[in-house]
Amino acid sequence: MDRVNQIWNHPIYQNELNKLQLLETDREFCRHTPEHFLDVARLAYIRALEENAPVSKELIYCTALLHDIGRARQYEDGTPHDEAGAAIAGQILNELGFSMEEIEAIVSAIRGHRAQTDQTVLGKLLYTADKRSRNCFSCKAEPECYWSCQKKYDDPILGGFFMKIGNREFDVKNKTYIMGILNVTPDSFSDGGKWNDMDHALKHTEAMIAEGADILDIGGESTRPGHTPVGAQEEIERVLPVIEAVKSRFDIPISVDTYKGCVAEESLKHGADLINDIWGLKYDPEMAPVIARYNAPCCLMHNKDNTEYNNFIVDMLAETQECVNIAKRAGIADDKIILDPGVGFGKTYEMNLMTMDNLELFRKLGYPVLLGTSRKSMIGLALDLPVDQRVEGTLATSVIGVMKGCAFVRVHDIKENKRVIQMTEAILGR
């Protein structure tokens, strides 16, 4: 490790480092200190050991020590710090007698560490360690940070993509999470009227959390076939007290199931963390701007008021992409979007089964997928069973959802779904 010390003591390195510390004196977060360089080095080396990567400890530490050394020049004249750092590193390494192969490897890793353009083992180690060295979601400046969740936590080695909902992080590439359903409606198809009373709603919430719910989805209007529409004000009066009561008593992210922009806005004002829109932003033109304004995550479901398609799968995916396009035009970031294929909406029984069989295609649109099949008519028709006997059918769909990479399942029966998800993930090695 002698050459690491030589880099540290090199006059060019010390000059650039001292300038950088002065320039960042008043910076309260993400400072580029020697501590940061060492954190990156240690994380990269640990990962190298775990992966049995053919890279020496010395080379890893040399690279980490140099990777942000161009920061001062970026502050001074606007030169991107990866390019400035590569130039500074090349000069220092050459003067210290590093081989051309070593210089090329280190410089390439530094040049590619911002966007992971260097696909070498060293480059990947540096990129991942640099991202993992920051405790972004405990930072007080996180709400104003221009980095997306994906940029902060996308891991090219592990393949992780962490999405923040409320105060929780969800590994939406490798895990499947449970969204528990809390309908505060008199006419929902499965549990209408059960949780209208606040005491019952809170007891049910407590039970769902105890059984393993990761998110709570509160709905103030039934969306079952043939449901009676509810005015926005009535829907607001149903959901807001529940949002506030749950927030004051439990630590769980809250989703609100609504397709009305004004309901979404009031819900977000009062503590909701996610908007679950069954019309995928197509019903109310005010919905997308509201979500964008509050920088909130959203779930966009495929839906239509008929079952007419030229080519069902192709058309369904194209119509879902239209929802994404609306979101992006409104300024909703990619890392705030979840997609729902909309089983039971705008589809025949056969189409619903086909949707289940092609869930993986939704993932190819580039966003986490939520699957909502709990106790739905597709299951009732397949098994010839009433609503209150569709648990096993729901579990079968949840297993398929896990196997096809769905990040969330929206269900009524938490305990049972939690167990089958855990078992399926164990088999799949997740």
Catalogue the active-site residues.
Answer: 376, 410
Q: Is 135 helix (H, G, I), strand (E, B) or coil?
A: coil
Residue pair 234/196 in contact by the 8 Å Cβ criterion: no
> CA 275 → CA 40, 155, 390, distances in Å?
36, 27, 27
3-state helix, strand, coil in the chain (%, to 5): 55, 10, 35
CB under 8 A, 24+ apart: contacts of 194-197: none
Cα separation, 266 vs 269, whole angstroms: 5
| Closest to 164 in 3D by CA, of 289, 288, 336, 30 | 336
Amino acid at 2: D
Listed in sequence order, the DSSP H helices in 213-311 are 232-249, 261-269, 287-293
Cα separation, 300 vs 278, whole angstroms: 7
CA 122 centroid distance within chain: 27
How, if at all, do strands 168-171 and 370-371 pair?
A: unpaired
Cα separation, 418 vs 215, whole angstroms: 13
Cα separation, 11 vs 6, whole angstroms: 10
Residue pair 405/363 in contact by the 8 Å Cβ criterion: yes
Residue pair 120/108 in contact by the 8 Å Cβ criterion: yes
Cα separation, 64 vs 33, whole angstroms: 12
Cβ neighbours of 349 (radius 10 Å): 13
